[in-house]
């Protein structure tokens, strides 16, 4: 689903150039869930932006759903995103000018799907906001806004969902709900999940854990507790 | 996508995002439609009015009868045409004779305006458009006085007799012919042949009066013009009132400038507001891009919003503009020409369209910027789009301004000058803003705590501060210069035509009658502008050579050399005259050793003839040769309504016995009977009544004044839009810094003081900039565009900064106070 090869990002500063990410090679399989963890400034967000095609690497390759996105133009990458990718952000990033329903409809409409409204309503029902379809973001609480954002992320039926600190702006109770929601939907819809987080509860729920330090992968492990939970489930 | 653009527009409207942009656009369109429509209507109505002076829209004068096919063409074009024949002849009654200027009318007259025909001189009469019936004549009052006749009497006219059917007390103005010595008589064309009065060799002029709707008459004029020869003369439009022309042209220049300025100001407001709009939409655009929208789609989304805004804003602007112009026309009906002509849709459509042009020219670069934002901004807030080349922004704005200026003014020269001035001015203004800021910082170091904190705020983002001072300063410069130019124009007009400006001329006063006249006027407390002797003479030579050889071919055709001039002598420089070169005589009456007397000449005439101080003119005066040596040039205020002379001699040069005297004075309506006394005692004196014309002149000046007054309001409104847009655009920074202060534990009182001090300092800086820039601009405009003597306006040096401080503090505080009351975290969430 997602492969990187020697992914490197350097930024030129007036004095020297700074390497934010150095030779990261990863492979994420379909239906995987991967947590990228690490201290602030370790390069997590940069890696996420490269994986999702929001930015281009200085060196190395990224292949997303078979597309070599490091070679593509802005618009071509946008087309790949529209086709395969969903996003959930720390600060929700809902469009304040649109209602909850309209926000969720947007990515579906971008795919020129005629049933945008029906699909968006279904998703909002799934995240428990059936009563708040016509509310504007500022009329919703933080947790509710993030639920709308999650509905929007799944609206385009993405093959892969990127989440950047999805619980970062929420209190514990709401954070829990959001985590449940992401994983439930992930399972229902068979999406691949890549998330960047500080939140141990969130990282624990993923199959795989990639730890970054100073731009390098220092750990890439299968999550034991996840394996245990899985085994327990099958048993 | 369009549905989404509409939804976003609605939402942005509800949240106040686009309001400033929208209102600035509306003001621009409103100003253009209202100014355009009112000036157009007033202009056309004034044209109608000046046609009344002429008696028609156009007159075509020819020494030979008007071509037959011209008449046919004119009639087939649907024009109203009246032919007339003009000549001088003598009317006689018994032993009395009077030289009169006859106009024989071939149809009804005047085509524009009306005759007022009375039974007795100096009374009110009946108004009409007509021609005298065959065998009758309408005469000016003087004719009756000289011939001792009254209505109903018959007078000899060539080989026939005419009955006096009425006295002309009002009619087409003859301002340009006020020194036409012979009184006017109107008769029927048919009587000309019957009287057998025109002989071969008689000096006759044929005039065709033309009236009709604008399209047909302009068509006809375009058709006839190329066929006219040099001896034929076309007069029309404003030329009917030469004394007013300068004032009207000046007013039109002012109106053109003012409407341009309000549009450009609105453009600036739009640019500022669009910049703010686009900065606030980077986040949204990043989300769209992140969700997979193509750049072109984002462009389309925002362009659609821009177009929606443009269409609605323009439509509302047009509607409001029309409403306002109607209100003004009704409100100012007393001052405006009557009857008011209907709306012409061209300026309305132009105003509406130019709203879209302004919006695109000033807002497009900022809107174009939005889609260029990187989708990475969703993760990194600091990502802003690569700025569009600032050259591109400026070029587009300048191009738009040039287009609008050209559209509004129709004068490429004016556009060129304004653009060049604007460019240079912008650079200078920015430099001055920087300088004022630096000086302010330096002085403010010693100020109170509040001042120092305010300065501290401004110092943190110096470039931003200088931009704000520049924008505010620009608005103040423009508003100030509009106000100043307006008051100067109004002063100028009022002083030009004071309440007691002379409204009657007396000519042909015999030297022996002067003492009697003086005593009659003194008895009635009537003050004259001086009683001047007048001798008619022809210029025959210059510096010993015949005049035809002494001056250029062009100068030979000058009217002053082709006819007899009115010459006078005085001891002191007359009022309304200023010596601009050479020296006035102070030992009047003493010829030089060659026996030559001194001569003072109009400076414009001197320029046309190419003569200088020291040149000697020779005149033939009643068969006697007289020489005069030029010792001074005078600038003459021709529209002063007092006797003015191209050439003035030193006393002693001319023969007193050959002179008649001329004077002018102001006579209020209730003293009109004095004229009868004068005519009774001095029947040969000619009275020229200008009061009716003066009244019309005053009315036109009032109208122009009213137009100038309300157009200034639009400029002020557009200026306020700029101030508001800039305050709005800088609001976030202000809220953010005060919220941070609040989070850090600052007292509300302290925050209020800091903010007010910052706003007040901005006001002081931009007010000072406004005063300096405004004075400079006005100085240049007075000299270059309006031909007014430049002066400084110290009174405003205090007022403008004070008003600037008051406005910026009030408006700035008003926009902030609700946000300051909210808890810090709520404010931060809204940013």
**Chain position carrying tokens 């947590």:** A35
| Chain segment B741-795, per-residue pLDDT in tens | 777 777 778 888 888 888 888 898 999 999 998 898 888 877 776 667 788 888 8
Q: What is the DSSP letter of A72?
A: S
Q: Return the pLDDT at B658.
A: 78
**Chain position carrying tokens 């220049």:** B253
What is the rounded average pLDDT of the residues B512-523?
A: 89
Range name among B153-167, B179-193, B297-311 with the lowest pLDDT average: B179-193
Coil, strand or helix: which one is B205? strand
Q: Which of B4, B290, B296 sits opposite A81 (nearest CB)?
A: B290
Spatial distance between the Cα atoms of A169 and B78, rounded to a whole number of angstroms: 81
pLDDT band at B49 (very low <50, low <70, confident <90, very high): low
| Chain segment A108-141, per-residue pLDDT in tens | 887 778 888 999 999 999 888 999 999 988 889 8
Spatial distance between the Cα atoms of B450 and A222, rounded to a whole number of angstroms: 61
Do residue B284 and residue A97 have CB atoms under 8 angstroms apart?
yes
Q: Would you state the structure tokens that stand for residue B236, as one six-digit string?
A: 């029309």
- Tell me the backbone φ, ψ of residue B357, rounded to 5 degrees: -60, -45
Rounded to a whole number of angstroms, the distance from the CA of A107 to the nearest CA of chain B is: 6
Do residue B11 and residue A96 have CB atoms under 8 angstroms apart?
yes
What is the rounded average pLDDT of the residues B640-651?
A: 85
- Tell me the backbone φ, ψ of residue B20, rounded to 5 degrees: -60, -45
**Given strand A59-64, what is the order of strands in its sheet?**
A17-28, A2-12, A59-64, A67-68
Contact (Cβ atoms closer than 8 angstroms) between residue A53 and residue A64 = yes
| Chain segment A146-167, per-residue pLDDT in tens | 999 999 999 888 999 999 988 8
| Chain segment B586-626, per-residue pLDDT in tens | 877 778 888 888 999 998 888 888 899 999 999 988 788 88
Rounded to a whole number of angstroms, the distance from the CA of A234 to the nearest CA of chain B is: 37
Q: Which of B15, B374, B378 sits opposite A89 (nearest CB)?
A: B378
CA-only gyration radius of chain A, Å: 18
Do residue A83 and residue B292 have CB atoms under 8 angstroms apart?
yes
Whether the CB of B7 is below 8 Å from some CB of chain A: the reply is yes
- Tell me the backbone φ, ψ of residue B75, rounded to 5 degrees: -65, -40
Interfacial B residues in 322-381 facing A (CB < 8 Å):
374-376, 378-380
> pLDDT > 90: what percent of chain A?
38
- Tell me the backbone φ, ψ of residue B145, rounded to 5 degrees: -65, -45
Spatial distance between the Cα atoms of B648 and B597, rounded to a whole number of angstroms: 11
Q: Return the pLDDT at A27.
A: 92
- Tell me the backbone φ, ψ of residue A54, rounded to 5 degrees: -80, -20
Alpha helices in B551-664 (DSSP H): 553-556, 559-562, 603-609
CA-only gyration radius of chain B, Å: 34
Rounded to a whole number of angstroms, the distance from the CA of A220 to the nearest CA of chain B is: 24
Whether the CB of B392 is below 8 Å from some CB of chain A: the reply is no
Do residue B294 and residue A89 have CB atoms under 8 angstroms apart?
no
Mean pLDDT (chain B) is 81
Spatial distance between the Cα atoms of B748 and B819, rounded to a whole number of angstroms: 12
Q: Would you state the structure tokens that stand for residue A225, as one six-digit string?
A: 């507790």
Would you tell me how many other CB atoms lie within 10 Å of the CB of residue B620? 14
Contact (Cβ atoms closer than 8 angstroms) between residue A229 and residue A195 = no
| Of A85 and B39, the one with more pLDDT | A85
Would you tell me how many other CB atoms lie within 10 Å of the CB of residue A2? 23
Q: Would you state the structure tokens that stand for residue B339, as one six-digit string?
A: 């009857």
Residue B532 has pLDDT above 80, yes or no: yes
Q: Return the pLDDT at B176.
A: 36
Contact (Cβ atoms closer than 8 angstroms) between residue B503 and residue B689 = yes
Number of A–B residue contacts, CB under 8 Å: 75
> pLDDT > 70: what percent of chain B?
87
Spatial distance between the Cα atoms of A149 and A105, rounded to a whole number of angstroms: 11
Residue B54 has pLDDT above 90, yes or no: no
Q: What is the DSSP letter of B109?
A: B
Spatial distance between the Cα atoms of B687 and B685, rounded to a whole number of angstroms: 6
Q: Return the pLDDT at B174.
A: 46
Residue of A nearest to B295 (CA): A75
Spatial distance between the Cα atoms of B36 and B171, rounded to a whole number of angstroms: 32
Spatial distance between the Cα atoms of B341 and B44, rounded to a whole number of angstroms: 7
Spatial distance between the Cα atoms of B98 and B686, rounded to a whole number of angstroms: 11
Q: Return the pLDDT at B238.
A: 44
| Chain segment B225-267, per-residue pLDDT in tens | 888 887 788 877 544 444 555 666 666 666 666 777 777 778 8
| Chain segment B156-168, per-residue pLDDT in tens | 998 899 999 998 8
Whether the CB of B291 is below 8 Å from some CB of chain A: the reply is yes
Q: Which of A75, A95, A164 sits opposite B294 (nearest CB)?
A: A75
Coil, strand or helix: which one is A197? coil
Helical (H) or strand (E) element with B62 = strand B58-62
Q: What number is the ipTM of this complex?
A: 0.88
Q: Return the pLDDT at B97.
A: 78
Whether the CB of B312 is below 8 Å from some CB of chain A: the reply is no
Residue by residue, DSSP assigns A117-186 as HHHHHHHHHHTT-GGGTT--GGGS-HHHHHHHHHHHHHHT--SEEEEESTTTTS-HHHHHHHHHHHHHHH
Interfacial B residues in 118-137 facing A (CB < 8 Å):
none
Rounded to a whole number of angstroms, the distance from the CA of B291 to the nearest CA of chain A is: 6
pLDDT band at B826 (very low <50, low <70, confident <90, very high): low
> pLDDT > 70: what percent of chain A?
95
Rounded to a whole number of angstroms, the distance from the CA of B3 to the nearest CA of chain A is: 11
CA atoms within 13 A on the CB side of B343: 16
Residue B329 has pLDDT above 80, yes or no: no
Let me know if B668 is exposed, middle or buried by CB neighbors in 10 A (0-12, 13-18, 19+): exposed
Closest CA to A45 of A25, A77, A21, A12: A21
Contact (Cβ atoms closer than 8 angstroms) between residue A191 and residue A161 = yes
Spatial distance between the Cα atoms of B521 and B508, rounded to a whole number of angstroms: 16
SS3 content of chain B, % helix, strand, coil (to 5): 60, 20, 25
pLDDT band at B275 (very low <50, low <70, confident <90, very high): confident
Q: Would you state the structure tokens that stand for residue B795, as one six-digit string?
A: 């009174």
**Chain position carrying tokens 């002494």:** B550
Rounded to a whole number of angstroms, the distance from the CA of B829 to the nearest CA of chain A is: 10
Rounded to a whole number of angstroms, the distance from the CA of B8 to the nearest CA of chain A is: 6
Q: Which domain holds residue A18?
A: 2-234
**Chain position carrying tokens 């929001």:** A54
Do residue B8 and residue A97 have CB atoms under 8 angstroms apart?
yes
Residue of B nearest to A46 (CA): B379
Q: Return the pLDDT at A222.
A: 87
Q: Which of A80, A110, A136 sits opposite B291 (nearest CB)?
A: A110
> Which residues of B fall within a CB distance of 8 Å from A96?
11, 15, 284
Into how many domains does chain A fold?
Answer: 1
Rounded to a whole number of angstroms, the distance from the CA of B265 to the nearest CA of chain A is: 30
Candidates B12, B292, B822, B826: best to mutate against A (most CBs of A within 10 A) is: B292
CA atoms within 13 A on the CB side of B267: 29
- Tell me the backbone φ, ψ of residue A160, rounded to 5 degrees: -140, 135
Contact (Cβ atoms closer than 8 angstroms) between residue B371 and residue B285 = yes
Whether the CB of B825 is below 8 Å from some CB of chain A: the reply is no
Do residue B292 and residue A102 have CB atoms under 8 angstroms apart?
no
Residue of A nearest to B293 (CA): A78
- A91: CATH: 3.40.50.300
Q: Return the pLDDT at A133.
A: 92
Would you tell me how many other CB atoms lie within 10 Å of the CB of residue B439? 12
Residue B177 has pLDDT above 50, yes or no: no
**Cα-based torsion angle of the residue sequence B774, B776, B782, B785 in order, rounded to the nearest 10 degrees:** -90
Cis peptide bond prior to B110, omega within 30° of 0: yes
């Amino acid at each position: 689903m997602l492969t990187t090869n020697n992914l490197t990002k350097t930024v030129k500063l007036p004095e020297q150039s700074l390497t934010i990410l150095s030779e990261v090679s990863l492979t994420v399989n379909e239906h995987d869930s991967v947590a990228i963890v690490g201290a602030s400034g370790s390069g997590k967000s940069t890696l996420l932006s490269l994986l999702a095609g929001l930015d281009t690497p200085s060196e190395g390759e990224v292949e997303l759903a078979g597309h070599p996105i490091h070679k593509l133009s802005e618009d071509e990458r946008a087309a790949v995103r529209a086709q395969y990718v969903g996003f959930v952000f720390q600060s929700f990033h809902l469009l304040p000018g649109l209602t909850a329903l309209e926000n969720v409809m947007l990515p579906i409409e971008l795919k020129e799907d005629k049933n945008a409204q029906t699909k968006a309503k279904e998703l909002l029902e799934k995240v428990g906001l059936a009563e708040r379809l016509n509310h504007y973001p500022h009329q919703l609480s933080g947790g509710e806004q993030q639920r709308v954002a999650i509905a929007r992320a799944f609206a385009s039926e993405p093959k892969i969902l990127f989440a950047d600190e999805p619980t970062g702006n929420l209190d514990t109770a709401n954070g829990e709900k959001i985590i449940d929601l992401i994983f439930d939907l992930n399972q229902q819809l068979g999406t691949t999940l890549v998330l960047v987080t500080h939140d141990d509860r969130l990282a624990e729920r993923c199959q795989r854990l990639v730890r970054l330090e100073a731009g390098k992968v220092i750990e890439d492990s299968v999550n034991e507790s996840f394996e245990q939970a899985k085994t327990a489930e099958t048993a | 996508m369009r549905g989404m653009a509409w939804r976003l527009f609605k939402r942005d409207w509800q949240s106040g995002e686009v309001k400033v942009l929208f209102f600035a656009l509306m003001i621009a369109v409103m100003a253009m439609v209202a100014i355009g429509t009112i000036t157009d209507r007033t202009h056309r109505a004034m044209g109608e009015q000046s046609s009344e002076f002429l008696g028609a829209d156009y007159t075509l004068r020819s020494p030979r009868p008007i071509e037959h096919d011209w008449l046919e063409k004119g009639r087939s074009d649907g024009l109203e045409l009246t032919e007339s024949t003009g000549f001088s002849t003598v009317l006689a009654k018994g032993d009395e004779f009077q030289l009169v200027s006859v106009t024989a009318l071939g149809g009804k007259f005047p085509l524009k305006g009306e005759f007022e025909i009375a039974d007795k001189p100096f009374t009110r009469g009946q108004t009409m458009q007509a021609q005298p019936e065959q065998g009758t004549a309408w005469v000016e009052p003087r004719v009756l006085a000289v011939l001792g006749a009254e209505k109903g009497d018959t007078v000899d006219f060539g080989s026939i007799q005419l009955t006096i059917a009425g006295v002309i007390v009002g009619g087409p103005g003859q301002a340009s012919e006020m020194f036409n010595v012979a009184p006017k008589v109107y008769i029927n064309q048919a009587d000309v042949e019957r009287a057998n009065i025109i002989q071969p060799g008689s000096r006759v002029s044929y005039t065709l009066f033309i009236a009709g709707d604008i399209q047909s008459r302009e068509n006809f004029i375009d058709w006839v013009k190329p066929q006219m020869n040099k001896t034929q003369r076309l007069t029309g439009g404003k030329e009917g009132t030469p004394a007013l022309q300068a004032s009207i042209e000046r007013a039109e220049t002012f109106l053109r400038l003012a409407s341009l300025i309000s549009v450009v100001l609105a453009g600036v407001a739009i640019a500022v507001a669009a910049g703010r709009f686009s900065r606030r939409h980077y986040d949204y655009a990043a989300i769209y891009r992140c969700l997979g929208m193509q750049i072109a789609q984002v462009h389309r989304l925002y362009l659609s919003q821009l177009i929606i805004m443009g269409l609605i804003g323009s439509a509302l602007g047009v509607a409001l503009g029309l409403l306002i112009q109607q209100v003004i026309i009704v409100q100012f009906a007393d001052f405006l020409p009557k009857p008011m002509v209907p709306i012409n849709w061209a300026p309305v459509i132009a105003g509406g369209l130019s709203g879209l042009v302004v919006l695109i020219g000033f807002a497009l670069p900022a809107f174009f910027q939005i889609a260029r934002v990187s989708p990475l901004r969703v993760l990194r807030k600091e990502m802003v789009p690569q700025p569009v080349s600032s050259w591109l922004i400026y070029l587009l704005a300048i191009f738009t301004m040039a287009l609008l200026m050209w559209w509004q003014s129709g004068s490429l020269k004016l556009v060129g000058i304004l653009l060049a001035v604007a460019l240079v001015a912008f650079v200078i203004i920015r430099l001055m803003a920087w300088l004022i800021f630096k000086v302010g910082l330096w002085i403010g170091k010693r100020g109170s705590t509040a001042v120092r904190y305010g300065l501290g705020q401004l110092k943190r983002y110096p470039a931003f501060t200088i931009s704000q001072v520049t924008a505010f300063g620009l608005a103040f410069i423009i508003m100030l210069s509009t106000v100043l130019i307006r008051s100067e124009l109004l002063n100028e007009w009022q002083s030009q035509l004071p309440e007691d400006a002379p409204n009657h001329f007396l000519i042909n006063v015999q030297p022996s009658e002067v003492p009697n006249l003086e005593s009659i006027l003194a008895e009635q407390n009537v003050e004259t502008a001086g009683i001047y002797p007048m001798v008619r003479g022809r210029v025959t030579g210059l510096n010993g050579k015949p005049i035809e050889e002494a001056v250029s071919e062009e100068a030979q055709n000058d009217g002053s050399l082709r006819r007899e001039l009115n010459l006078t002598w005085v001891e002191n420089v007359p009022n309304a005259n200023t010596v601009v070169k050479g020296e006035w005589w102070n030992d009047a009456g003493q010829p030089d050793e060659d026996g030559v007397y001194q001569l003072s000449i109009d400076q414009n005439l001197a320029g046309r003839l190419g003569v200088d101080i020291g040149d000697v003119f020779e005149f033939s005066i009643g068969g006697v040769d007289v020489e005069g040596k030029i010792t001074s040039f005078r600038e003459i205020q021709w529209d002063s309504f007092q006797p003015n002379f191209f050439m003035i001699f030193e006393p002693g040069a001319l023969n007193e016995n050959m002179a008649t005297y001329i004077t002018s004075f102001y006579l209020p309506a209730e003293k009109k009977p004095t004229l009868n006394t004068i005519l009774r005692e001095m029947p040969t004196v000619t009275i020229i009544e200008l009061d009716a014309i003066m009244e019309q002149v005053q009315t036109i000046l009032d109208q122009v004044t009213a137009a100038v007054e309300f157009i200034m309001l639009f400029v002020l409104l557009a200026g306020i839009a700029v101030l508001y847009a800039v305050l709005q655009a800088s609001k976030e920074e202000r809220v953010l810094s005060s919220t941070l202060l609040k989070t850090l534990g600052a007292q509300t009182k302290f925050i209020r003081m800091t903010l007010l001090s910052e706003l007040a300092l901005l006001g002081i800086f931009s007010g000072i900039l406004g005063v300096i820039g405004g004075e400079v601009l006005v100085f240049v405009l007075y000299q270059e565009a309006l031909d007014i003597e430049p002066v400084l306006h110290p009174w405003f040096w205090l007022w403008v900064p004070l008003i600037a401080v008051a406005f910026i503090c009030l408006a700035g505080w008003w926009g902030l106070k609700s946000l300051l009351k909210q808890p810090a975290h709520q404010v931060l969430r809204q940013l």
